[in-house]
């Protein structure tokens, strides 16, 4: 792995003399209080400003502040005019533009393309505070406000849309966001290194168009510069029928020369002896090799070429061996430098050790920001994920090399939460990151890691070169819960259970001390077809983890539950796959109150499958096998209905589908049958969608004869519920006891009142325990 200049080794900008601000200013009044006449950098974001390291604008803002720059924030501006974009004045160096912690389209629309009713990153959860494609709109307004000020585009929306990408909402391939936003440079992935380097160079008077050698950036070029060796991507991973190969030394921007070259016929005598010229291997000059992807126009018109380009892009994501990429858009090239070098532990500590206020900006008053409320007592211990799930953006954005904080830095943050954050009750709500248990897990040697091109370290099985030692994480858990004033450390991040079972000691530690009654995990499916397209382990790994979970829960004397999550309508999923998943759910006593349908996010491998019908996990060609795709609204509803097999609203659709599939034997009242034969009366029925928790059997439906196991549920923060199984739930018992005590207290109060009035004492009947 190449080395990079440490973030804390740059010379400080002159404005360092002002020192850190309590909050990065959002108004001219705040700037005046700080003694600033102007901002050096202004960050425009689609989220409310929360000065917390879980929010991107706070990390970038505080990092730039630590370099000596004066940084202002324009959060959720009114995009109808340029006025809000001028309220802090003209920045001396650049505008930093980001849509927020989420892609603005995913933030606003559901997987069914319906407008969401709320926005977790807005005060009061109010929807509509940011525009669609916020990065584009904000960039254009910044240009209107101050035309000559450079625009640096970043954040997850820019990161995942940096290349020509399929857009689910328009059902077509769109340009690189750099083109549409008319920005000067784009930073992708974790952008700390890139933003510091760009800011430093601009402060020295460099022109933004001359900054072309920073890793993790994309920018516009007219031609491949001298000294670079250009490779056609179709020669690396041939997609099938391709254009005639021309002289590689011809300038590909010179259309006249290309045309002459293509028209040339054989002019040499094949029997004539020739001098063999040995050329330097491009493998020896990897840092000067660029791969030319099919142009935007080609991938827009040819879905197979789109899948091919997506495959090559993902093959070039390891910072240790990735090459630059280039893709033509009309008359210009969009150039993508290799990914940034991962941060060291010392740099991670530096970034997370900034003077964050850890609360929302005072301008919001007492208004609640749901996303902040969710994470204010949580601690991020690492970045990155080597799982490589094809539907997920974490690996694509943060990379698959884990970047860890030190235990000392993490403990220090927990102490800050304990001592400074209002409302802390002693419970840390999460100690994790993109995953719960990849902390300090890495390849056995840096040499193997830097040469690897696999998209996942744990699929189809755990790589033998992966060190799966969980001892550092176990020690961290023990140190954290030993802190004075800390009552409980919960683990809420996604647990990679196929990795966890490699360390029984870790599973025991987790189950004994860090599960708050239930643990959510994501097997995503039970069938091999969709699991292979997701790059997820088989359901056998879940079963193995479940046995360990139950064993250690019993040893700890705790009644705890696993809550599994599943995806409907993912590429590779057939109706039969969903039927088998529904049977598994019923057989194991699970009822899904919430259903997660596949959401084709920009640039994801699964999205390339969805658009092209091809599998970019293997070599793509016109003749290669296709992938089953669920696109129609009707079939997506069917797959969700299978996940919610217990909801009578979906039974008519399921009856029709099961009959069509030749599985009418699954319709009936038997315990091995999926749905009843008859529809229930509608009076008194309320869908479980309308309730966080609905006791099994409360619907007026055909009697369920499977009484041997409690029915569990996916839900939003409520514990599993009692369903009549022997023993019930401790939570339900407590609620029943509370209800009984409340009734008894009311009866006693009435008795005292009657006695005071001379009516005499009436016997108090013991109230029935509510069911």
Q: Which of 570, 597, 497, 587 has its CA nearest to residue 537?
A: 497
**Which residues are CB-neighbours of 440 under 8 A, at least 6 positions away?**
382, 402, 404, 469, 472, 473
Distance of CA 184 to the CA centre of its chain: 26
Q: Which of 452, 192, 575 has its CA nearest to residue 348?
A: 192
**Which residues are CB-neighbours of 295 under 8 A, at least 6 positions away?**
327, 328, 329
Question: What is the rounded CA–CA span in Å between residue 517 and residue 718?
Answer: 10
Q: Given the DSSP bridges, would you call strands 382-383 and 403-404 parallel, antiparallel or unpaired?
A: antiparallel
Question: What is the rounded CA–CA span in Å between residue 501 and residue 493?
Answer: 17
CB 385 within 8 A of CB 434: yes
Which neighbouring-strand residues pair with 591? 713
What DSSP element (H or E) covers 258? helix 255-263
Buried b (16+ CB within 10 A) or exposed e, 741-763: eebeeebeeebeeeeeeeeeeee
Buried b (16+ CB within 10 A) or exposed e, 194-219: bbbbbbbbbbeeeebeebeebbbbbb
- Tokens, residue 544: 């193995």
Distances (CA, A) of 443 to 69, 340, 462, 463, 585: 37, 18, 11, 9, 36
Q: Is 760 helix (H, G, I), strand (E, B) or coil?
A: coil
Question: What is the rounded CA–CA span in Å between residue 156 and residue 52?
Answer: 17
Q: Which of 713, 714, 687 has its CA nearest to residue 700?
A: 687
Q: Which of 219, 457, 199, 433 has its CA nearest to residue 326?
A: 219
Q: Which of 177, 105, 87 has its CA nearest to residue 139?
A: 177
Identify the sign of the CA torsion 262, 267, 269, 274: negative
Question: What is the rounded CA–CA span in Å between residue 399 and residue 167?
Answer: 22
- Tokens, residue 741: 């005590």
Q: What secondary structure letter does DSSP report for 218?
A: E
259 CB neighbour count, 10 Å cutoff: 10
Question: What is the rounded CA–CA span in Å between residue 551 and residue 554?
Answer: 5
Q: Which of 25, 44, 57 has its CA nearest to residue 95?
A: 44
CB 650 within 8 A of CB 656: no
392 annotated as a binding-site residue: yes
Question: What is the rounded CA–CA span in Å between residue 26 and residue 47?
Answer: 13
Buried b (16+ CB within 10 A) or exposed e, 554-565: eeeeeebbbbbe
Which neighbouring-strand residues pair with 326? 292, 335
Q: Which of 360, 297, 492, 288 has its CA nearest to residue 49?
A: 360
443 annotated as a binding-site residue: no
Distances (CA, A) of 707 to 255, 722, 723, 728: 74, 12, 9, 12
385 annotated as a binding-site residue: yes
Dihedral of the CA atoms 594, 599, 605, 606 (nearest 10)?
70
Unique residue bearing structure tokens 């008859």: 678
Which neighbouring-strand residues pair with 443? 466
Q: Which of 169, 186, 170 has its CA nearest to residue 178?
A: 186
Residue ranges for the known binding site for [4Fe-4S] cluster are: 385, 389, 392
Residue ranges for the known binding site are: 385, 389, 392
């Amino acid at each position: 792995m190449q080395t990079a200049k440490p973030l804390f080794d740059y010379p400080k900008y002159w404005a360092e003399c002002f020192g850190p601000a309590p909050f990065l200013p959002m108004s001219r009044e705040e700037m005046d209080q700080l003694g600033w006449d102007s901002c050096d950098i202004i960050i425009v974001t689609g989220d409310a400003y929360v000065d917390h390291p879980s929010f991107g604008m706070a990390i970038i803002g505080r990092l730039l502040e630590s370099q000596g720059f004066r940084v202002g924030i324009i959060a959720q501006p009114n995009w109808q005019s340029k006025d809000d974009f001028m309220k802090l004045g003209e920045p001396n160096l650049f505008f930093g533009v980001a849509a927020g912690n989420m892609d603005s389209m995913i933030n606003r629309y559901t997987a069914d393309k319906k407008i969401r009713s709320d926005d977790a990153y807005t005060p009061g959860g109010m929807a509509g505070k940011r525009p669609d494609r916020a990065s584009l709109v904000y960039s254009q307004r910044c240009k209107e406000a101050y035309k000559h000020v450079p625009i640096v585009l970043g954040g997850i929306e820019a990161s995942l849309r940096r290349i020509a990408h399929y857009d689910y909402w328009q059902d077509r391939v769109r340009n690189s966001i750099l083109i549409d936003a008319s920005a000067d440079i784009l930073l992708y992935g974790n952008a700390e290194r890139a933003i510091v380097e760009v800011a430093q160079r601009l402060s020295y008077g460099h022109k933004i168009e001359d900054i072309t050698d920073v890793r993790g950036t994309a920018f516009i070029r007219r031609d491949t510069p001298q000294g670079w060796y250009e490779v056609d991507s179709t020669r690396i991973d041939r997609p099938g029928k391709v254009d005639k190969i021309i002289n590689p030394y011809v300038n590909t921007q010179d259309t006249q020369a290309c045309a002459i070259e293509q028209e040339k016929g054989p002019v040499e005598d094949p029997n004539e002896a020739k001098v063999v010229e040995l050329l330097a291997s491009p493998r020896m000059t990897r840092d000067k090799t660029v791969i030319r992807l099919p142009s935007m126009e080609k991938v827009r018109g040819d879905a197979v070429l789109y899948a091919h380009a997506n495959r090559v892009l993902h093959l070039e994501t390891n910072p240790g061996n990735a090459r630059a990429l280039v893709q033509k858009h009309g008359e210009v090239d969009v150039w993508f430098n290799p990914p940034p070098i991962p941060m060291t532990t010392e740099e991670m500590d530096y970034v997370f050790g900034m003077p964050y206020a850890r609360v929302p900006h005072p301008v919001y008053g007492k208004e609640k920001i749901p996303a902040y409320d969710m994470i204010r007592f949580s601690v991020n211990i690492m970045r990155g994920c080597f799982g490589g799930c094809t539907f997920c953006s974490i690996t694509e954005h943060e990379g698959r090399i884990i970047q860890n904080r030190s235990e000392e830095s993490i403990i220090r943050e927990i102490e800050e939460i304990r001592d400074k954050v209002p409302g802390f009750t002693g419970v840390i709500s999460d100690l994790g990151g993109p995953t719960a248990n990849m902390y300090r897990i890495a390849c056995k040697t840096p040499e193997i890691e830097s040469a690897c091109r696999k998209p996942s370290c744990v699929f189809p099985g755990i790589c033998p070169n992966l060190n799966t030692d969980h001892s550092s994480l176990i020690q961290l858990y023990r140190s954290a819960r030993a802190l004075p004033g800390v009552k409980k450390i919960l683990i809420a991040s996604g647990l990679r259970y196929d990795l966890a079972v490699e360390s029984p000691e870790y599973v025991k530690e987790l189950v004994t001390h860090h599960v708050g009654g239930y643990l959510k995990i994501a097997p995503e499916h039970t069938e091999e077809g969709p699991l292979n397209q997701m790059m997820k382990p088989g359901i056998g790994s879940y079963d193995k983890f479940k046995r360990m979970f139950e064993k250690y829960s019993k040893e700890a004397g705790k009644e705890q539950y696993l809550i599994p999550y599943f995806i409907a309508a993912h590429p590779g999923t057939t109706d039969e796959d969903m039927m088998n998943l529904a049977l598994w759910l019923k057989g194991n006593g699970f009822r899904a109150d919430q259903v997660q349908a596949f959401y084709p996010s920009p640039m994801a491998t699964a999205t390339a499958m969805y658009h092209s019908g091809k599998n970019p996990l293997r070599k793509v060609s016109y003749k290669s096998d296709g992938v089953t795709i669920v696109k129609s609204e009707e079939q997506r509803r069917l797959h969700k209905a299978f996940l919610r097999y217990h909801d009578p609203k979906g039974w008519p659709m399921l009856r029709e589908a099961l009959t069509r599939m030749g599985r009418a034997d699954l319709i009936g009242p038997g315990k091995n049958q999926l749905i009843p034969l008859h529809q229930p009366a509608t009076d008194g029925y309320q869908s479980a969608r309308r309730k966080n928790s609905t006791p099994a059997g409360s619907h007026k439906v055909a009697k369920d004869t499977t009484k041997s196991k409690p029915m569990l549920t996916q839900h939003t923060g409520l514990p599993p519920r009692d369903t009549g199984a022997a023993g019930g739930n401790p939570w339900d018992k407590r609620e029943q006891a509370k209800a009984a005590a409340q009734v008894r207290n009311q009866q006693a109060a009435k008795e005292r009142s009657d006695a005071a009035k001379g009516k005499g004492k009436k016997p108090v009947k013991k109230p029935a325990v509510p069911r």
